[in-house]
Amino acid sequence: MDITENKRDLIPPISIIVLLAVGIRLAIALLFTPPLLSDEIDYVTLGKSIVEGTGMSISGMPTASRAPAYPAFIALIFSLFDHSMTAFRIFQAVADSITCYLIFVFCRRIFSLHTAFTASAVYALFPGNAFYVSIFMTEIVFTTLLMTALVLVTSRTLYSSIALRSILGGILGVLALMKPSAAVIILFFFIWEWYRSQSIRQTLKHYLIIAAGFAVIVSPWMIRNGILFDHFSLTSNGGVNFWIGHNDQATGSFRYYAENNPLENISGEFERSQFALNEGLNFIIAHPLRELQLIVLKFVHLFEPDFALMQSLLYRPEWGTYSRALLIYQEFPPLISLSLHALSAGIIITGLWGMIFAGGSLNRNLTLLSIIIIGWTGIHVIFFSVARFRIPIMPLLIIMGSYSFEAWRSKTLTITPLRRYLFIFFSLLLAGSWLAIFGLIYLVQ
């Protein structure tokens, strides 16, 4: 049944779900106004710099350490609403509510109406993403654009419309200018189309316009960096991020130690990045077993409890004097910490169930979701991981989990011994890490 066949039945329910999402997110945007921490300070500073006419610069000095798309969104809202932080939080609340609707459209297009309502309702009520509307990080806007790209790529008219393919390429370009590591997402879509069509020639033909749209968006920024820094690159921070995940004090998560830091003596953003990349590669060669351990730790950190979000929402000034993050986490109310992560953990496990057991079903669009989830995880295994980085794939895990319930009811799950062992292995790895983390925080003094 097409969505246009029974509008009276379909429009009111999804409208209620989206309005619920809007209400929850607007309340969060207005009630939670945490101070700017960490990367947020840079993004807001760059947004103000753009409004003031000095472009992507900090303290008057041009920089390529941050990609320009998110500061540009901040600058747009600041220019329209007199530098209002609340206005930008409201903007993000609306964007995240649009994501809720896009989940419905995506699921209704390729799955059933039941899956569409389930997935959109779960996302509307899911606090793990919703609370980020108050945080000045890239994740909320990035997730909306990623879901927009997914809706476009599954459109029946995509390959007959040059305009739609150009728009898709442009959106993928904006994603790359928001998170430079996301430049590989266009490759994920290409791999899926190749898998779907089984024709490299047809795939190249379809993706030529998409690639052109991508290039149109990212080229001005790269040319700017070539002129100012003599490096045609998306970022001057890639090598540093790589080194953070590959050094003798690496934990798999963010840890940029200050004492005896070899990067501090290197002047020039791109020179520092290149030096850091070389240092990271040398570390991998010299410590292959440690590298295997870090791969596991990065996977675990990507899906760990989001204590950084709680630190922002429950911020206390004295936390800035604490010597260890663990001391901060121990002051979080256990019931809140456990409850918030229980919801995220449920989505992660059901999404994993869908990926492994429903992946062999008839619908090839599941493969697209799996490629993006696995690819996104792989990106952060290469660099480093924090819980915030999983925000863009949470809608995909929600969709996977919602569809798996439908497949379970219709007995279309593909359950083989290998798939069962994979599910058990990753479930135990995740559950074990969560128990260890909460045990370390609340049981070990």
Single-letter amino acid code for the residue at 415? I
Whether 81 is covered by a domain: the verdict is no
- Which residue, 238, 261, 250, is CA-closest to 301? 250
Express each pLDDT in 158-174 by its tens digit. 888 899 999 999 999 99
Number of independent structural domains in the chain: 1
Task: Give the whole-angstrom CA distance, residue 122 versus residue 406.
Answer: 15
Contact 247, 231 (CB under 8 A): no
Whether 334 is covered by a domain: the verdict is no
* Residue 214 tokens, joined: 């991508």
User: Residue 7: pLDDT above 70?
Assistant: no
Residue at token pair 């919703």: 130
Whether 203 is covered by a domain: the verdict is yes
Task: Give the whole-angstrom CA distance, residue 337 versus residue 325.
Answer: 15
Whether 164 is covered by a domain: the verdict is yes
What does the CA dihedral 368, 372, 374, 378 come to, rounded to 10 degrees? Answer: 150
pLDDT of residue 2: 45
Strand (E) or helix (H) holding 61: strand 61-62
User: Residue 8: pLDDT above 60?
Assistant: no
**Mean pLDDT value across residues 310-329:** 86
Q: Give the number of other Cβ atoms within 10 Å of residue 201's Cβ.
A: 8
More confident of the two residues 350 and 13: 350
3-state secondary structure of 58: strand
Whether 362 is covered by a domain: the verdict is no
Contacts of 102 (CB under 8 A, 6+ apart): 144, 147, 148, 150, 151
Contact 337, 305 (CB under 8 A): yes
**Mean pLDDT value across residues 258-278:** 86
pTM of the model: 0.93
Whether 109 is covered by a domain: the verdict is no
Domain residue limits at 184:
155-234
Strand (E) or helix (H) holding 410: none
Express each pLDDT in 25-74 by its tens digit. 999 999 999 999 889 999 999 999 999 999 999 988 999 999 999 999 99
Whether 411 is covered by a domain: the verdict is no
pLDDT band at 445 (very low <50, low <70, confident <90, very high): low
Whether 144 is covered by a domain: the verdict is no
pLDDT band at 6 (very low <50, low <70, confident <90, very high): very low
Average pLDDT value for the chain:
90
Express each pLDDT in 373-414 by its tens digit. 999 999 999 999 999 999 999 999 999 999 988 888 877 788
Per DSSP, 81 falls in state T
* Residue 269 tokens, joined: 């953003």
Express each pLDDT in 85-130 by its tens digit. 999 999 999 999 999 999 999 999 888 899 999 999 999 999 999 9
More confident of the two residues 223 and 363: 223
